[in-house]
A and B are shown apart, each in its own frame.
Chain A
Amino acid sequence: MGGAPNNVTETPEFLLSVRDLNITYQTTRGPVPAVRGVSFDLESGDSLGLAGESGCGKSTLAAALLRLLPPGTTTSGEVTIDGQDLFSLSPGGLRAVRWTKESIVFQGALHALNPVQTVGRQVCEPMLVHETEVSQKAATEKSRNLFERVGLTADKLDYYPHQLSGGQRQRVLIAMALACDPDLLIADEPTTALDLMVQAQVLALIEELRRESALTLIFITHDLSVLAYVCERLAIMYAGRIVEEGPSLEVFRQPAHPYTRALAAAFPTIGDPSSRLSPTGLGGDPPTPGALPQGCPFHPRCPLAEDRCQDEEPGLRVAGASRAAACVLI
């Protein structure tokens, strides 16, 4: 797919390349831009954390990377996975990409599993459909291995979802996502509904999987502190755009964008006297995608906003070594 000359690339080979991606939902009230001009590249083995609040476009972006958007949604821009143009793939080509090249772990493990099938059967299914395993026997054997890798005993293969705890169900979903050995794993809030200790178990599991195989990871959540430790790079989204990007710990500890600063401060550092008995918040709501403010969409909530912020929406600009932020104050 794509122009033939592009097959000879002079730039490094990216596993995933997103170029100026725009996604607009068509609603009865008119078009709603959910993702606006997002670009990033991932090399094999990279890990990217995507953070932002409800409505910032992070889950829409995740769905687009698997072409799971509802019919009628308008997209422009380019998504290339392993050299293939995602948006021009035929249904057959798309099937070959899903599960085997990239797969997704959704939030809400209870709803993502079929309640009337054993979890073992559900983990086998993608392997048989995508013919990555030749027989039911081979697929069952692989499921057994996958369960072991995610810390579940093999007897759980015969369980139904309701017989498992939330943490165990989340592990099943991770095992399922890994069934066809994908290169890229997209995890959309995989730990949000989990308890602290179970969250730690799942995060440790993901870290271990990344160490063992050169798995590439996109991890989505609103909890910056989780991302800072799981991912090498961090992208902060606001109103459909990436407003800050850079190495995780740097972005978390020394945010450049005022919004990132507010988001980072929302999760206090225990033991830090400045946050003891003094919670800090931003006030206001994230903007509605259908009715974005003029100029910088963050200006109505921004503690540092100036008059010029109402005029023009700033693009990403350099904010240090391999860092960028979309704020006129930088």
Chain B
Amino acid sequence: MQGNSTIQSSRQPQGPRENRKHISKAKMSGLYQRAVKEALVKLDPRIAVKNPVMFVVWLGTIVTFLVTLDPNLFGTVQADVNQQRLLNGIITLILFFTVVFANFAEAVAEGRGKAQADSLRSTRSDTIARKVLPDGSIHEVSSTALRRGDQVKVMAGDVIPADGEVIQGIASVDESAITGESAPVLKQPGTDIMSSVTGGTRIISDSLLLRITQDPGQGFIDRMISLVEGASRTKTPNEIALTVLLAVLTLVFLIVVATLTPIANYIAAFLETTLGATAANTFRSGVSVAILISLLVALIPTTIGGLLSAIGIAGMDRVAQFNVIATSGRAVEACGDVNTLVLDKTGTITLGNRLADQFIPVNGHSLQEMAQVCLAASVFDETPEGRSIVALANKLGVSIDLNNRSADGIEFSARTRMSGTDLDGREYRKGAVDSVKGFVRSRGGAAPPQLDAAYERVSRLGGTPLAVCEGGEIYGVIYLKDIVKPGLRERFDQLRRMGVKTIMLTGDNRITASVIAEEAGVDDYIAEATPEDKIDVIRREQSEGKLVAMTGDGTNDAPALAQANVGLAMNSGTQAAKEAANMVDLDSDPTKLIDLVTIGKQLLITRGALTTFSIANDIAKYFAIIPTIFAAAGIGALNIMGLKSAESAIVSALIYNALIIPVLIPLALKGVQFRPLTADQLLRRNIFIYGLGGIVAPFIAIKAIDLILPLS
């Protein structure tokens, strides 16, 4: 948090979000051809074993292939051997394509990430850096030879060799390689925000002296590459839970299918000795191994098993498309589970470009006198607020001559909440009203009664009041005007409906905070907040079992970013903030946290919807396969779809089972359409669409395939 926001991001997002350029300028041509090759490579058992459900299908394919070669391998078949071989061959082919389709889904999702990584990698080529040696001489070295702490000089046209901070010079830097934004960014030393530079970006004017902050291979672009490529992808808690569920279901069905024939034959043998051969034959199972494997594959949740990793990778990809780099899938998922959003007022809820709108003199001073003091207090203030105060004072015809005068700028700090100038032994200060009052008292002065009235007047307008003084004399209040971002109230209403609470933090006074909170529609606010308040509010919410998300950019935000379940750092922020956070927004737009909640929820909903669909599919498959293969046991009446034969039923169910995977790939990659509803409403909606749909769709599809197939 930049305190009362005297430091602004050097680059603000340009225009509506949908119109902005994103880093997804990666080449996607040839993606599907590469994915087909990759799908075949993933048939390697060492890779296949990582997906338990599809590994079972893969092993089943091998066994059905063996019984295609020799239909009598596991026992003499009753039917015509050639006919049995043909059926086994068809089953083998369908099972093989089921595995390939699942691999293809994963390969497409991975391919999109790799294409982005390649695009980023092209910006990370080895460059020649001008290393500044301790004696001041410059020695040209490869960028890979640079180490943390080294100093390098970069000039207009150079690619910045590694992540670093500016220690000397002012220059424009083109960061489009990582942000997609073509507008150059001003970099200069001495500020948290503008002194950080990223390796791979290009300096387009002047020159800078940099101190390298990362060793080779650990820079920002290196980390981005490894993330979008999926190299550092680990399973999220939800994925782990779902993997366990899928393994349990697969194991249960494996035991059921493996014991089906022995138990049936055991009962038949028992009945033969008690009730005779006729009764025994109804139980005796003549089901072949290939059909049992088909039954197993139809019963286990292959759809979600095949799409699970694609959904997770696509979730990371969607975040990256949004110009946000997540350190893990866990962070993206946590966005979907967030209960509380902690948001800064300035720049997040309001536009952030607070400008001086009016000087309100008090204590009998004239407007000109106050303007003179305001100008003196702001002459070294390079923030937009400071510059707007200088501009307003100039507009009132006031100017200042610093030639041959002793002048020192006093920087703003979150502790003093004041800034100003020491000029010829006089102390000019401006800042939070309470802080200036304290300063005036410490200099033997007193606050006039009109000060509080002016302070309240500005606060009730939702503006930020800054008191201004010279030594022990208060001159008046500056009205800094800020505007609540349009459309935020509706966004907060949506979040409330989804059960997400919003808390606004501001260094402003209580009255201003309440006016802005009311206007923006946040649920709660904390006024006159210090950086410590941010971490306190996060801990308090977490102690109530809630997941908290926040944004930050300054070094003093780093502890709170690390404490929050979702910490979104601004790319324009400090290295410390970016390292503490689990997400970095390349656009440096703090409002994006709200969109990330939506993306996280969409990821969770997509996974839940496809799991529901996959398990609901099983019902139709039971009705397709079981009544036809166990018709002898008297359950033929359950063949409610009227499928032609056991062979046709099995093949139809397996074809549906295989084809549904590629059909659902676009949905897995794009995500289920998100609607801002409560958890209960979403559950009802998804159970209706994907639960009921998952039951009905396969009935229709299997029947249609059965009608088309020439099997009798």
Bind each other: no
